[in-house]
Amino acid sequence: MKLMINQEHSRRPYALFGLLVWLFFALTLSFGTSGWLIIVVFSSFFSLLSVVAIWALIKFALTSLIAKRSKLGFIKGAILISLASALLILLFNIVIVGYFPGMKAEGMPSLIKSFYSTFFLYLLVLSIAAFIYVWKEHRRIQDENHDFREKLLQGEINLKSQELNFLKSQIQPHFLFNTLNTIYGMALTKSEKTPDTILKLSGLLDYILYSVNKEKVVLKNELKHIKQYVSLEKIRFEDSLEVSIEFDEITDAISLPPMLFLPFVENAFKHGVRNENRLTVKLKLEVTDKAIFFVVENSATESNKNTAGIGLQNIKNRLNLIYENRHSLKTGYKDGVYKVELRIDQV
């Protein structure tokens, strides 16, 4: 049933084209003769011939031009169809004039008597039909290419979104592992600060649950989150930790993806080395009209300067996915200090 409907639908343009050609020739021939028989016969012939010719032109010549991009194939097909049409027109005129009753050359319009005029008019009709077909095919191909590009772009966006969500899902367990490990150590020693530490962790978890799935968060809240994390680390390290925080005063207008800076801070506490029984960590954030600068320094040794956890690698991947060429990340060791410098360009 579906096939029959499709076949019927595909025949409609040819039927409409044949009807228009018939009306065109009927109107044209009516100016040169009053005989309705001549008008009907010749209009019907040219209508049928035009439908067959345009079908052959589309199937063979124009298909080579559009699908295969073969100009030679198109030229060959067009020439063959034109020659065949010319031969059929000549034979039709001979048969009609010589053998059909009532079809005398004297009573026919000058247009039919002149083969060149008739053939030119016929080719003009075919050319217009071919032009319309090529134009419609060009529009169809453009629409298909546009839809394909849209689907391809949407697929890339979905893939990038899935990859970002996967990376963020890895960052969360990494952060929780470090923090819970701190609380576990405090619980073993029955520290009085354990309840307060659990409350601080609760605040951090609340931030994660309500912000990590967002595309962007306010930078001021992100920095507050980092300070909460540092306060947890101060409880764990007690007097053996020296932390310096220098954050510029910023407005609520600046936003960025959540948990973008925390892995660098975590890395400083996790892999930092105590010099003279003290771990030194310095955090600095500077905001200008052009960029956001975030710097993390921690005491280290030559042997652990290349140490990096899964969180640091994930954040590098996130930066490449989100900011591509609009950021720079530098890491290095010098004189007992491991330093991370991140610059994010503001658009």
pLDDT confidence of residue 292: 94
Residue-wise pLDDT tens digits, 65-102: 655 666 666 677 777 777 777 777 777 766 666 566 65
Give the separation between CA 323 and CA 326, rounded to whole angstroms: 5
CB 201 within 8 A of CB 186: no
284 Ramachandran zone, left/alpha/beta (phi>0; psi -120 to 50): beta
CB 273 within 8 A of CB 299: yes
pLDDT at residue 133 tops 80:
no
pLDDT at residue 342 tops 90:
yes
CATH superfamily of 157-345: Histidine kinase-like ATPase, C-terminal domain (3.30.565.10)
Give the closest residue to 49 by CA, choosing from 84, 96, 94.
Answer: 84
Q: Which residue has the higher pLDDT, 197 or 255?
A: 255
For the chain, the distance separating the N- and C-terminal CA atoms, rounded to the nearest angstrom, is 57
Provide the whole-model pTM: 0.52
Average pLDDT for the chain: 75
pLDDT at residue 106 tops 60:
no
**Residue 167, SS3?**
helix
Q: Which residue has the higher pLDDT, 276 or 297?
A: 297
pLDDT at residue 34 tops 70:
no
